């Protein structure tokens, strides 16, 4: 079982607006509303791959109730932690079908108290009983110090889960100090966390080796359209997808994580799991909505995704 933990969930409103220009009035062509947050996207993509997932997130207010209802309607298994700190945030994504990529406006979310956070960690502990791998995806809510992610990681590890962290900023720095099983981030996030320039492949390889020196069993760095690099005890592997004309990159990293994690749960080798992850991330970029995959796209892209060992 996969447990997808989302510390700062959202109600995602995706507006499709042809010819988008700032400072003018537009009518949206379509409006998609979904239970959102990076962990929900991971679970959504994993389910398309046939991997059962349980989602866990703190929710509050009328918006939180709407997120829970939408998740139920979508068929998610979930354990929510309810708080009274305010409304679960709403994130707005605006997509011009003829533009280069989506425009994303993320609200910060409600400010959680120490008690709220402890309740959420306890909920995660209960949810982790049936899980083998757990992902922690996205930002921490306002009010939760960066070190708060350490409590989540420790709780999940105590339950016997392999923990994969996908976050950024001070939360990523804090996560590195408590040594989760795996880190999956993009090059800009890892560059900031390690205070290392990651301008080319050699720089990324050096950063991955630094993760291994810190005790991380699996490190993955995403490179956008160029694919991803990963390191484990066998060495460093690079997977690259075929070129695609993207619709929206929102959720692509989450789908990559879903593909990678599904591969790990099925005991794929690192090359197999990373290639699957890269294919899923690329397929996601062809759709409107985070974590949405068309398996025909995944299969087609996977067949064209190349890979090679760079060391090991």
Distance between CA atoms of residues 53 and 55, nearest Å: 6
Query: Contact 309/235 with Cβ under 8 angstroms?
Result: yes
DSSP result, 239-269: EEPPP---S--TTHHHHHHHHHHHHHHTT--
How many whole angstroms separate alpha carbon 215 and alpha carbon 230? Answer: 15
DSSP symbol at 140? P
Sheet of strand 77-83: strand arrangement: 77-83, 53-60, 2-5, 133-137, 162-166, 182-186, 218-222, 228-232, 235-240, 306-311
Instruction: Please confirm, yes or no, whether 101 is among the known catalytic residues.
Output: no
| From 254, 294, 297, 299, the catalytic residue | 254
Structure tokens at 146: 């960066």
Active site residues: 254
């Amino acid at each position: 079982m996969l447990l997808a933990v989302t510390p700062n969930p959202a109600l995602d409103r995706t507006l499709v607006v042809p010819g988008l220009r700032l400072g003018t009035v537009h009518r949206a062509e379509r409006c998609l509303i979904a239970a959102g947050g990076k962990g929900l996207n991971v679970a959504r993509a994993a389910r398309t791959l046939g991997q059962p997932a349980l989602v866990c997130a703190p929710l509050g207010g009328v918006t939180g109730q709407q997120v829970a209802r939408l998740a139920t309607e979508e068929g998610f298994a979930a354990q929510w932690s309810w708080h009274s700190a305010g409304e679960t945030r709403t994130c707005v994504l605006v997509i011009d079908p003829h533009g280069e990529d989506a425009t994303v406006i993320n609200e910060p979310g409600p400010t959680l108290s120490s008690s709220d956070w402890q309740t959420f960690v306890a909920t995660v502990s209960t949810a982790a009983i049936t899980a083998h791998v757990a992902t922690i995806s996205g930002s921490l809510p306002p009010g939760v110090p960066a070190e708060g992610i350490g409590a989540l990681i420790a709780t999940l590890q105590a339950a016997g889960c392999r923990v994969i962290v996908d976050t950024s900023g001070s939360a990523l720095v804090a996560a590195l100090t408590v040594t989760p099983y795996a880190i999956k981030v993009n090059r800009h996030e890892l560059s900031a966390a390690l205070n290392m320039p990651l301008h080319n492949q050699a720089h990324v390889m050096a950063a991955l080796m630094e993760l291994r020196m810190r005790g991380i069993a699996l490190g993955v760095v995403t490179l956008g359209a160029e694919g991803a690099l990963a390191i484990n005890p066998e060495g460093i592997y690079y997977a690259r997808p075929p070129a695609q004309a993207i619709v929206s990159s929102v959720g692509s990293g989450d789908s990559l994580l879903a593909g990678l994690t599904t591969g790990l749960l099925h005991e794929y080798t690192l090359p197999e799991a990373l290639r699957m992850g890269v294919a899923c991330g690329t397929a996601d970029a062809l759709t409107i909505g985070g974590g949405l995959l068309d398996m025909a796209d995944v299969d087609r892209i996977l067949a064209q995704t190349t890979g090679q060992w760079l060391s090991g």
